[in-house]
Structure 1
């Protein structure tokens, strides 16, 4: 009889321990997911700052200020990525054992990397401008007299020139539109993954 009671007692202790462990794991998972959402908010703010800074750069041409901003934003994105990787590693840890959430965060990281690369491409293209609208340099022109300018860019426009320019513009437009669509697709994918994170948080909170 005593032996039976001891076994029942041990079983009860084991169930209680399992319950505490499960509760502890859920709490940790909840904290990590909330931390991830905070990091995503930081990323969103960084993109807003970058967009605003680039708009100001196009208007004013402040190259140094723009380069400084790009350096700061790059540092911010790198820090965000580092923190997400740390969370991903914790989800893979046996104490947490949530490989599904680790894969979810890795998918977000992949899309965030693509989004950043394409955003840089868009800014480079817009910085350069359409071929037909780019300013020409007169550094190689000659100035025989103070008020006389012999421009090397002045020449008879042929049909071939017009075709080349049209093709260059079309190539530029295609590259820009493709990058924009790529960013839009990445944002859609990221938002879908974030919704999954929110559903997971909601599910844990009602447990």
Structure 2
């Protein structure tokens, strides 16, 4: 009889330990989802800031925003790396969750790179639509000048410009497609995280 009671106590304490372990996993995964929410908010802020910049041309405000966003993204990455280490530790031994978080990190890096690429391309504009600076032109009278940019458009020059536009369009489309792929992959991984939370809570 005594032996049976001892076994019950042992199994109860093991259950408590498992519950504690499970809640730590859920806490970490929820914390990870919180980091992803911060990233989403930072992207929204960057998108708004870039739209404002394209309208106002306020270079310093946009550069300041980019610096703030960089700090925010670095902090998010650092936190996720810490979570990866915790999942690898002997407390958890969940290399599957480490791989899942790492997969998100890889896609986030790609997303950030492509977001920057798209902004650089949009900032430059299509080659045929770029504004011309008149600082090297000769002014004879105020409001009248001899424009050094005026030249006869030859077939070769027209073809060159069309090719440059096509190259620009392709680069932009490729970056947008890559960005969409990265976002889709991130969302799929986040769905896996939510499933894992639900599975652990159901145990």
Interval containing the TM-score (normalised by the shorter chain): over 0.9
Q: Secondary structure of 1:143's match?
A: strand
Correspondence for 1:38: 34
- Structure with larger RCO (C-alpha < 8 A, sep 6+): 2
Give the drift of 1:12.
Answer: 4.1
User: 1:128 aligned to 106, 119, 124, which one?
Assistant: 124
Bigger shift: residues 135-144 or 171-180: 135-144
Structure 2 gaps of 5+ residues are none
Range that drifts further, 55-64 or 137-146: 137-146
Correspondence for 1:75:
71
Q: Distance in 1 between matches of 2:74 and 2:169?
A: 30
Q: Which of 58, 62, 73 matches 1:66?
A: 62
Shift of 1:145: 4.2
Q: Gaps (5+ residues) in structure 1?
A: none
The structural deviation recorded for 1:147 is: 4.8
Pick one of 55, 61, 67 that aligns with 2:51.
Answer: 55
CA distance in 1, matches of 2:143, 2:96: 73
Shift of 1:103: 0.4
TM-score for both structures, normalised by structure 1: 0.93
Distance in 2, matches of 1:188 and 1:195, equals 11
* Deviation by residue 1:57-114 (Cα, 9 ceiling, x = unmatched): 0011111110010001111111011111111111011111111001000000000000
Q: TM-score with structure 2 length normalisation?
A: 0.95
- State the Cα RMSD in Å: 1.5
2:160 match: 164
- Kindly report which structure 2 residues correspond to 1:70-109, keeping only aligned pairs within 5 A, or say none: 70-109=66-105
Offset of 1:146 from its aligned partner? 4.0
Q: 5 Å matches for 1:183-202?
A: 183-202=179-198
Q: Aligned to 1:140, what secondary structure does the other structure show?
A: coil
Structure 1 residue 10 displacement after superposition = 5.4
In the TM superposition, what whole-angstrom CA distance separates every residue of 1:127-160 from its partner, at most 9, and x where no partner exists? 0000000001112212244454111111110000
Pairs aligned (count): 203
Q: Secondary structure at the match of 1:136?
A: coil
Q: 1:169-189, CA deviations, whole angstroms, 9 ceiling, x for partnerless residues?
A: 000000000000000000000
